[in-house]
Structure 1
Amino acid sequence: MSILDKLYEKAKQNPQRVAFPEATNEKMMQAAYETGKDGYIVPILVGDADEIKKLVAERGYDENVFKIVDINEEGYKAELIEKYVALPTSLLKEKALNRRMANPLYYAMVMQAVDEADVTFAGIDNTTGDVLLAGQMIIGMKPGIKTISSIGLCDIPGYEGSEGSLLAVGDSAVCTNPSAEELASIAISACDTVSTLLDWEPRCAMVCYSTLGSGQGELIDKVTEALKIANEQRPDLNIDGEFQLDAAIVPEVAAKKVKRESKVAGKANVVIWPDLNVGNVAVKLIQQFGHANAYGPMLQGFNKIVCDCSRGAPVSEIKGNVVISAVRAAGSKK
């Protein structure tokens, strides 16, 4: 059974409420319908109810699979606004929130913020910037986390790591050149993500072109400072470095290069890149030459689970990311 198959089974055991603000999009509606019909999630279509219902019928879907939320229905909207502005973390007052909720993306996130939904799933009709801005404004950031980032899960044929063929990597999609503080936030968020999604005990390696001082340079200084910050903020997590990639994941190399005790060296299941240049190239290499399946990117750092999928993603990939987001949401409640 593949990792994705296992996550599908996990989702079915505890279906989460997933809000789709791009409800009329054909691929989004199909993904919502198929994952909902099969019992993996409870799909909530957010938008103009008349238009949504018309398209549901035209496309031959059973309307009963969905919960349809009409953004034009003033009564429910007023309830949501009242609950949201009462939150201690609320950044918007009633009038400003009312204006923004004309946009289904903001409406869905307000539902999520007040526990009327567990996940907001978008990214085809909205840009990544749109999703990130709405998420930061409505959902907010986790305490102690200073940046939104991403993590991906690579299933690499022939790789025999501490978690079999699986390796979590980040950030490969969002943060171009993170500062030491931001890099520490990425590492902490990544550990929390794999813990809630996969029930792993995270072993997180912060990598660059040096292992414990074998190289010099500003990039290495940034990584070592990030490591210090991460360990101070979350001493409960196994985050270590700085390591070269082979010292992080290959026990034999770690035995030669890491001459001190480490719970991470040689057996990392999470790898944190120093910047997006490294992260993007590394993932492409893993996919092209390692023939890996890469799942994600999964946004992390928000108070609740927000997903920004690729605009060009096929329905099968969207469904996988919907299920992953739902499992993350269920895990974050523990």
Structure 2
Amino acid sequence: MSVLDNIYEKAKANPQKVAFPEAENEKMMQAAYECGQEGYIVPILVGDASKIRELIAERGYEESVFTIIDIGNEDYKNDIIAKYVALPQTVLKEKALGRRMENPLYFAMAMQAVGEADVTFAGIDNTTGDVLLAGQMIIGLKEGISTVSSIGLCDIPGFEGSEGQLLAVGDSAVCTNPSAEQLADIAISACDTVKGLLDWQPRCAMVCYSTLGSGQGELIDKVKEALAIANEKRPDLDIDGEFQLDAAIVPAVAAKKVNRESKVAGKANVLIWPDLNVGNTAVKLIQQFGHADAYGPMLQGFNSIVCDCSRGAPVSEIKGNVIISAVRALGAKRDC
């Protein structure tokens, strides 16, 4: 059984409640429907209930697959608000939350915050910035976490890496130009995410245009400093670098370029980009020329699972991302 097959099996064994605030979007509704019909999740469509039902009928879906939440239902809305403001350390009060819940994105996240949903899934009609702002305001950040970041999982046909065709990469969506401290946090969070989701032993490479001093400059210095911070914070994790991409994932290249012992070189299963220019471009290259499915970005750092997908993602990719998010939510419950 492949790693992805194992994720799908976990999801089907214990379906989680996934809220879709972009319910009217055609691709999002199709992905939600197929995931629900196949038994991977309990899909919750959040928005204008009459419009949602009309679109379900037009598109030929079985309405019984979905749970439909009408944001115009004042009784249900007030119940969510009362439960939310009773939580410790909430940012918003009744009136402020009520105004924001006119937006389905905030309504879904408020449901999640009080346990009515396990995951909020968006990103086609809302920008990454929209999702991040709502997540930080409504869901909040984990204690001790100051950097929201992301990780993606690439399924690359023909790639023969240490985990077969799979490779985890980050950050490709959130942190534009992370400081050394932020880059270290991204690496640590990525290792924890991968270990919890995939049961891998993370081997994390900090990548740039230099391998162990072959190049010089402030961009390389940042990666070196981030590596030192990450290793000091979490010596239990296998995080190494700085490596060029080929030295990180190709054993033959690592044998030539890395002249010291390394648990990561040549067999990395997690790659950490130095900035968003590299990360965003790299993922699109993997998708366009490697014909890969890139599942993500999986946001890291929130109190519970919030997911922002790529606006250009096909339905197959959205489905995989939904199912992965559900299994992450399941894993978070297990770790509590």
| TM-score, structure 2 normalization | 0.91
Matching residue's letter, 1:153: L
Given that 1:16 and 1:329 are in contact with CA atoms closer than 8 Å, whether structure 2 keeps it comes out as: yes
Instruction: Give the corresponding residue for 1:100.
Output: 100
Matching residue's letter, 1:201: Q
Instruction: Give the corresponding residue for 2:222.
Output: 222
Instruction: Give the corresponding residue for 1:198.
Output: 198
1:182-216 per-position Cα deviation (integer Å, ceiling 9, x unaligned): 21121122112212221211111111122333332
- SS of residue in 2 equivalent to 1:42: strand
Task: Map 1:19-58; keep pairs closer than 5 Å.
Answer: 19-58=19-58
Instruction: Give the corresponding residue for 1:274.
Output: 274
1:197-249 per-position Cα deviation (integer Å, ceiling 9, x unaligned): 21211111111122333332111111122122222333332222222223322
Instruction: Give the corresponding residue for 2:154.
Output: 154
- SS of residue in 2 equivalent to 1:151: strand
Instruction: Give the corresponding residue for 2:313.
Output: 313
Q: Which segment drifts farther, 6-15 or 183-192?
A: 6-15
Task: Map 1:29-178; keep pairs closer than 5 Å.
Answer: 29-178=29-178
Given that 1:149 and 1:300 are in contact with CA atoms closer than 8 Å, whether structure 2 keeps it comes out as: yes
User: How far, CA to CA, are the matches of 1:262 and 1:311 in structure 2?
Assistant: 38
- SS of residue in 2 equivalent to 1:239: strand
Q: 1:44, CA displacement in angstroms?
A: 0.8
1:282-329 per-position Cα deviation (integer Å, ceiling 9, x unaligned): 334434444433332322222221122233333333222211211222
User: How far, CA to CA, are the matches of 2:158 and 2:62 in structure 1?
Assistant: 42
- SS of residue in 1 equivalent to 2:299: strand
Gap change, CA 1:276 and 1:39, over 3 Å in 2: same
Instruction: Give the corresponding residue for 1:298.
Output: 298
Matching residue's letter, 1:108: A
In structure 2, list runs of 5 or more residues that go unmatched.
Answer: none
Given that 1:146 and 1:181 are in contact with CA atoms closer than 8 Å, whether structure 2 keeps it comes out as: no
Instruction: Give the corresponding residue for 1:17.
Output: 17
Gap change, CA 1:181 and 1:280, over 3 Å in 2: same
Given that 1:20 and 1:45 are in contact with CA atoms closer than 8 Å, whether structure 2 keeps it comes out as: yes
Matching residue's letter, 1:169: V
Gap change, CA 1:31 and 1:284, over 3 Å in 2: closer
- SS of residue in 2 equivalent to 1:333: helix
User: How far, CA to CA, are the matches of 2:313 and 2:157 in structure 1?
Assistant: 23
Given that 1:249 and 1:266 are in contact with CA atoms closer than 8 Å, whether structure 2 keeps it comes out as: yes
Instruction: Give the corresponding residue for 1:328.
Output: 328
Gap change, CA 1:108 and 1:262, over 3 Å in 2: same
Matching residue's letter, 2:168: A
Q: Which segment drifts farther, 218-227 or 309-318?
A: 309-318
Matching residue's letter, 1:29: M
In structure 1, list runs of 5 or more residues that go unmatched.
Answer: none
Q: Which segment drifts farther, 293-302 or 281-290?
A: 281-290
1:50-99 per-position Cα deviation (integer Å, ceiling 9, x unaligned): 33333333433322211122222233222222222232331112221111
Gap change, CA 1:108 and 1:246, over 3 Å in 2: same
Gap change, CA 1:310 and 1:6, over 3 Å in 2: same
| TM-score, structure 1 normalization | 0.91
Q: Which segment drifts farther, 86-95 or 309-318?
A: 309-318
Q: 1:256, CA displacement in angstroms?
A: 4.1
User: How far, CA to CA, are the matches of 1:257 and 1:79 in structure 2?
Assistant: 61
Given that 2:293 and 2:317 are in contact with CA atoms closer than 8 Å, whether structure 1 keeps it comes out as: no
Q: Which segment drifts farther, 225-234 or 89-98?
A: 225-234
- SS of residue in 2 equivalent to 1:31: helix
User: How far, CA to CA, are the matches of 1:57 and 1:292 in structure 2?
Assistant: 33
User: How far, CA to CA, are the matches of 1:228 and 1:128 in structure 2?
Assistant: 30
Given that 2:294 and 2:317 are in contact with CA atoms closer than 8 Å, whether structure 1 keeps it comes out as: no
- SS of residue in 2 equivalent to 1:159: coil
Given that 1:171 and 1:186 are in contact with CA atoms closer than 8 Å, whether structure 2 keeps it comes out as: yes
Identity over the aligned pairs, expressed in percent? 83
Gap change, CA 1:243 and 1:143, over 3 Å in 2: farther
User: How far, CA to CA, are the matches of 1:245 and 1:193 in structure 2?
Assistant: 21
Matching residue's letter, 1:182: Q
Gap change, CA 1:51 and 1:177, over 3 Å in 2: same
Given that 2:23 and 2:52 are in contact with CA atoms closer than 8 Å, whether structure 1 keeps it comes out as: yes
